[in-house]
Structure 1
């Protein structure tokens, strides 16, 4: 038997030690900073993490990304990203670090108008979140370089102006808890990425804007919004 068409090439992310990290799945945690939950008009939920998923092919390196179709309200969301290097199910929180390959800065770009429309109708968020080029990712730094990153400044600028600023210690559900939670629902596998949530201060961008995400100890994610995908 022969393939009908060539399969898609793997999505590869760069690491600071010169390797390539094959991306398998993307899990995104929502409402994981209290101030952001409030700015989105929802109650802060400290009982269990809230998450959604995105395609691996939404992950792109720093560089230009297109303003997507079907939106007039495209938002940035700065995130700490966790790269899973060792698989497992039912991982205890106190063993979570053993499953982390490393950390990176990242962005969860969002068609906010479509997300809010779906939320108001009780529908999935796919149209707002699962969008081409919507998960820019910086260089992944192995955990041996960074430690467990339970604290540290996270900041996002647009054209040099600070829009988001917080500390990783402000996460409602910290990284070990997120890994323990997700590994009860799924077997986590090497190549999975976990976007851990965004601080308050999200807002829209337009073509020509430069976005920079910075986290202490990690390489910045830098993107420039280009014209419409139809240009």
Structure 2
């Protein structure tokens, strides 16, 4: 959610507190949001000193509710200006607070120009599967042919030793992320010239190091 705030208000790495405050104020004015109801919470999330949130008497539960409402408003108001696409990767690693915020926003977007994209592992259990505006796409593991096509694309060549092909298929098990990591390890271990024709001797020489990367 912090990344979404930074992108929305154009907050850059190295911006000081004064600059962040000014950018958030300009953004709130553009969106037509009340500073009193939103500014302290956004400044607090962006780690700005003297956000003013400590001057507002409220319980921890009320603070959480107001932060979620402020985030929801920025999404809905922003969608009135342009189509919004909110992408959240690896939802299975999200903490409960982040998950609650995403759920709160998700329940408020029917009719709004907002597309929310989540990626998560099959074991992750969510509560919005019954929503009429929800659609789930299951990504299965790649086949051997698809895995090798990805390898060839990443290496920029189809001239790969057969033994190495079998090794890649065995180690990566059709998972695109593992394939990317494996190929990245190869690039670190082997020169660009050697990548055009990887031989079994090279594989045997570097196999232990490659295993460490995986």
Computing the radius of gyration from Cα coordinates, the structure with the larger value is 2
How would you bin the TM-score normalised by the shorter chain? under 0.3
* Superposition TM-score, scaled by structure 2 size: 0.21
Structure that is richer in helix per residue: 2
Higher RCO structure (Cα 8 Å, ≥6 apart) = 1
Structure that is richer in strand per residue: 1
* Superposition TM-score, scaled by structure 1 size: 0.20
